[in-house]
Amino acid sequence: MSELPRNQQEFIAFCQAHADLWVDNASALGVQPATAALFKTHADAAKDTLSDADSARLASKAATQANDIAMRIARSDAADIIKTIRAFAATTNNPTVYAVAGINPPSPPTPAPKPAKPERLQTILEPTGALTLAWFASNPRGGTVTYAIRRKLPGQSAFSLIATTGGNAAANGRPTGRRGLKQWTDETLPTNSGGVQYVITGTRGNIVGDPSEILTVVFGTGVSGAFIASATTSPSTGVQLAA
């Protein structure tokens, strides 16, 4: 095991405890007196430099804290003044204020993105005979997206708008529970229609998204009783849509 401590403070304490001892007993220890004296000189220098380093670290820490406080205050002041300048430019409708102040004018608003295309269309037959449509559409924040539900019954030549919904819960009040999942319940589906088709389109303001695939739903009876089957047809572009 090393006799010399690795910690600098402990090593300096070791030097202070041994320097005079070694100088006074150099000959008895088999050490050259000049060597022992030089060690004492170097140990004293190391003690002084360690003290200076500790003082410098404390001063640096204090200076860093003072700088952080000053920067925070100056940044807050600058932000308040910029806010005042922008408010003045807006209320006076004078964009030249920005050039005088040497700051950038506000960026023009970014147009809202087109609503996401409804995908993964599914159906749920309710006990009442109503048909719930479910789909996925994840839209970025900013503006409210609504969904136009269009339906085409057998014998009809075009899809007619039957509802506009946010899609956050079915008409029966069942919450969607999953991110991006939307649903709506068609409670006006004629009895014994045999089948029906749907197209769903998202809208944000006056921006219309891409329509979903055509969802075709077929009702019937089989060996095990009544059944419902659904499938999507791609693409839905070019289908005839009634207002």
Name residue 214's amino acid.
I
**What does the chain come to in residues?**
243
156 SS3 class: coil
Per-residue model confidence as pLDDT tens digits over 136-177: 988 776 668 899 999 999 888 899 999 998 877 654 555 555
For the chain, give the longest Cα–Cα distance: 120
Residues 172 and 133: beta-carbon distance below 8 Å: no
pLDDT at residue 125, rounded to an integer: 83
The two structure tokens encoding residue 134: 């479910």
Q: How far apart are the first and last CA of the chain?
A: 91
Task: Look at residue 219 in the predicted model and tell me its pLDDT.
Answer: 79
Report the percentage of the chain scoring pLDDT > 90: 56
3-state secondary structure of 28: helix
Q: What is the pLDDT of residue 130?
A: 86
Predicted model pTM: 0.55
The structure tokens 């009442």 sit at 128
Rounded CA-CA distance 132/188 in Å is 11
Higher pLDDT, 39 or 232: 39
**Cα distance between residue 107 and residue 75, in whole Å:** 21
* pLDDT score recorded for residue 40: 94
Using the predicted structure, report yes or no on whether residue 1 has a pLDDT greater than 70.
no
Contact 215, 234 (CB under 8 A): no
Look at residue 73 in the predicted model and tell me its pLDDT. 95
